[in-house]
Chains A and B, each alone.
Chain A
Amino acid sequence: GAVVSQHPSRVICKSGTSVKIECRSLDFQATTMFWYRQFPKQSLMLMATSNEGSKATYEQGVEKDKFLINHASLTLSTLTVTSAHPEDSSFYICSAKRGGYGDQPQHFGDGTRLSIL
Chain B
Amino acid sequence: AQSVTQLGSHVSVSEGALVLLRCNYSSSVPPYLFWYVQYPNQGLQLLLKYTSAATLVKGINGFEAEFKKSETSFHLTKPSAHMSDAAEYFCAVSEFSGNKLVFGAGTILRVKS
| A interface residues, Cβ below 8 angstroms from B | 4, 6, 9, 32, 34, 42-46, 49, 91, 93, 95, 97-98, 103-111, 113
**Could you say which residues of chain A place their CB within 8 Å of the CB of B102?**
46
20 contacts between A and B (CB under 8 A): A9-B41, A43-B103, A44-B101, A46-B100, A93-B43, A93-B44, A95-B43, A95-B44, A103-B49, A103-B98, A104-B97, A104-B98, A105-B34, A105-B49, A105-B98, A106-B98, A106-B101, A108-B46, A110-B41, A110-B43
Q: Is the CB of A32 within 8 A of B98?
A: yes
Q: Which of A34, A42, A49, A111 contacts B41 (CB 8 A)?
A: A111
Q: Is the interface of B mostly helix, strand, loop or mixed?
A: loop
Interface residues in B40-60 (C-beta closer than 8 Å to A)? 41-46, 49, 51
Q: Is the CB of A6 within 8 A of B101?
A: no
Q: Is the CB of B105 within 8 A of A108?
A: no
**Could you say which residues of chain A place their CB within 8 Å of the CB of B31?**
none
- Nearest CB in chain B to that of A59: its residue: B100
Interface residues in B82-106 (C-beta closer than 8 Å to A)? 90, 97-106
A4 CA / B42 CA spacing, docked (Å) = 12
Q: Is the CB of B51 within 8 A of A103?
A: yes
A34 CA / B98 CA spacing, docked (Å) = 10
**Could you say which residues of chain B place their CB within 8 Å of the CB of A105?**
34, 46, 49, 97-98
